[in-house]
Structure 1
Amino acid sequence: MTRKQRRLTMIAAAGTVLAVAVGLILFALNDQIVFFQSPSDIVAKTIPDGQRIRLGGLVAEDSVTRGENAEVRFTVTDTVESVNVVYVGLLPDLFREGQGVVTEGVMKPDGLFYADNVLAKHDENYMPKEVADALKGKGVWQGKE
């Protein structure tokens, strides 16, 4: 083998090892990736059962109901479409109707979104970027630029 052939062989081997490593990392992280969706996105798409997603929007007025064992049901809306959410646990102190919220969980075949994590905005000037972008896209954004 000439010097040039050995160098090309080493570069090809390193590239192959790097490609395999990247592939394994992406495969391992596939279950950990959570995509943001607005209520309109969820209504328009078919989301596979058990796929974790992030649902964001505004908590609809007069939609919060509290049940037994810390169960809370509420509706998340982007003023175009709405998704009903079920959450069991303690809500953030700033959670209330009309506020921006991001929930993480899974959509079930019964049409309800079962959240295991709820994030509420922390003051009147902040809304999660994904929620603000989705509301701007629908033309209903009321906040500052």
Structure 2
Amino acid sequence: MGDASNEKVIQLLEEQLAYTKEQNKNLTKQIEVLTEQIRQLTKALYGSKSEKSKYQIPDGQGSLFEDDPSFNEPEQTEEQSIEKVSYTVTRKKRNKKRNDSFHEDIEIEEIHHHPANLACDCCRGEMVEFSSTLIREEAKFIPASLKRVQHFEHVYECKTDRR
């Protein structure tokens, strides 16, 4: 009985040794792949910076799992089996001016600015208005209403002949 049990133990030990050697071989290969990936990533991170790096694929993304055979076959997901349709919408660009945000139906409040002194500096005669100019527009928000405020500047001239 001693020889038969010893033979079984030896056979079990040999099988375990073969399994351990195979496992060691696989782990060594995996370590080599990971070490190469670390080397490539370290070089990409700390190496010379160039847009045309030899470690980049044309689309700009390198594969981390190229050398690992378990990642060679693509995984099929539910999202990949659904057909995707995309549309491109081209909108006409509209050149919008600064004050185009005012709508035509907004109430307009006008504020007129007249000079304080209507006497002519040279002859002391009374000046007469000959034009007005819109200086600026501003939005004035009053709760529950919006008003358009227009400022006009009035220009006066002397009608006295200066000759």
Output the TM-score relative to the length of structure 2.
Answer: 0.27
* Greater relative contact order structure (CA < 8 Å, 6+ sep): 1
Larger radius of gyration: 2
Output the TM-score relative to the length of structure 1.
Answer: 0.30
Which structure is higher in strand share? 1
